[in-house]
Amino acid sequence: MNSVHGAFNAVFDALLYPLDRLGAEWALVIASGIFGVLALWLFKYISWQQGITRTKDKIKGHLIEIRIYQDDLAIVALAVGKILLRNLQYLVLNFGPILPLAAPFTLVAAQLVVRYGFAPVEPRAAAAGLMPGQGVLLDVRLRASDAARASELAIELPAGLAPISPIVRLPQQGRVLVEFAPLAAGSYDIGLALPGGVRETKRLVAGATPERRMQPERVGTFWSSWLWPAEPTFAASSPFERVAFTYPDRELAWMPDGPGGVLLVFLVAAMLFGALAMKPLGVSI
């Protein structure tokens, strides 16, 4: 997945760079709309368009049949049964081709979420005096087979990140937690080291920076890796399963905030642009 995400990162960097000058909100809407039109165009060529059109026509014909013979219960009952069967056929003809589009749909949605769903962590003037819960809680989880190595994990906070709490180790759960605070704006790579030369990092973005992609989690499983393209997925041989903290939701002016708002705007804009493009593209749904 890392190579796939790398390609999508490059494409979206190029696509969104000029759109971002219009503002994050319009960039999100336009990018979502472009994908909606492209998805509709692909649907046209991977679906049986003639079959969809014929099925819709037959459903209309049976509805007319009910209207004409409404006093004949036998004919009406038979027509209703035919409508139900044609509706099932219609769903199969439509949803069958949609399944292959689920993969690019997920990859595009993930790109938009890591670009527009989260805001950088606000830096603090100083770590002294901060109470637990006022900083950033880093949660490191090891794979079940390596859970006991939690007692050996070293967390390396770079200059600019100050610890608030001591490291808490839970070897039985394979978890290590520590709370810290950023003291200045910037992009930081938090080091995670185990004996034997095993070392990974988790990136944190704080304050105003030119960083365009940020994600609260770095993961090590195949299915979860689809959702987080901004950082490489842990290798299958890595003892790390998940490293996470929480970013604030990004405020999107006249749109819903955060990753949930990004997904909602993506769905609505993609469907709206797709609906407007149906006749020009000659697509039957």
CATH at residue 224: 2.60.40
18 occurs within a structural domain: yes
pLDDT higher than 90, residue 262:
yes
Same-domain check for residues 55 and 160 = no
221 occurs within a structural domain: yes
65 occurs within a structural domain: yes
pLDDT higher than 80, residue 170:
yes
CA gap 42, 98 in Å, rounded: 10
At 91 the pLDDT is 86
97-149 pLDDT tens trace: 888 888 999 999 999 999 999 999 999 877 666 777 789 999 999 999 999 99
- Out of 36-40, 79-83, 238-242, least confident range: 79-83
pLDDT higher than 80, residue 71:
no
213 occurs within a structural domain: yes
125 occurs within a structural domain: no
At 133 the pLDDT is 77
**How many of the other CB atoms lie within 10 Å of CB of 88?**
11
58 occurs within a structural domain: yes
Total domain count, the chain? 2
Q: Which two tokens stand for residue 75?
A: 């004919």
Same-domain check for residues 96 and 196 = no
At 276 the pLDDT is 94
Using CA atoms, how far residue 154 sits from 78, 114, 190, 233, 281, in Å, is 72, 27, 11, 20, 57
Average pLDDT of the chain is: 91
Q: Which residues contact 234 (CB under 8 A, 6 or more apart)?
A: 200, 218, 219, 220, 240, 241
Same-domain check for residues 7 and 107 = yes
- Bridge partners (DSSP) listed for residue 168: 177
Same-domain check for residues 97 and 181 = no
> Confidence band (pLDDT; 50, 70, 90) for 29?
very high
Q: Which two tokens stand for residue 97?
A: 């081709």
Nearest to 211 by CA among 254, 182, 236: 182
Using CA atoms, how far residue 213 sits from 31, 107, 203, 265, in Å, is 16, 14, 10, 18
Q: What's this model's pTM, rounded to 2 decimal places?
A: 0.86
| 228 contacts 217 by C-beta, under 8 angstroms | yes
pLDDT higher than 90, residue 150:
yes
183-233 pLDDT tens trace: 999 999 999 999 999 999 999 999 988 888 999 999 999 989 999 999 999
Answer left, alpha or beta for residue 122, where phi above 0 means left and psi between -120 and 50 means alpha. Answer: beta
Give the domain extent around 150.
136-244
Same-domain check for residues 151 and 73 = no
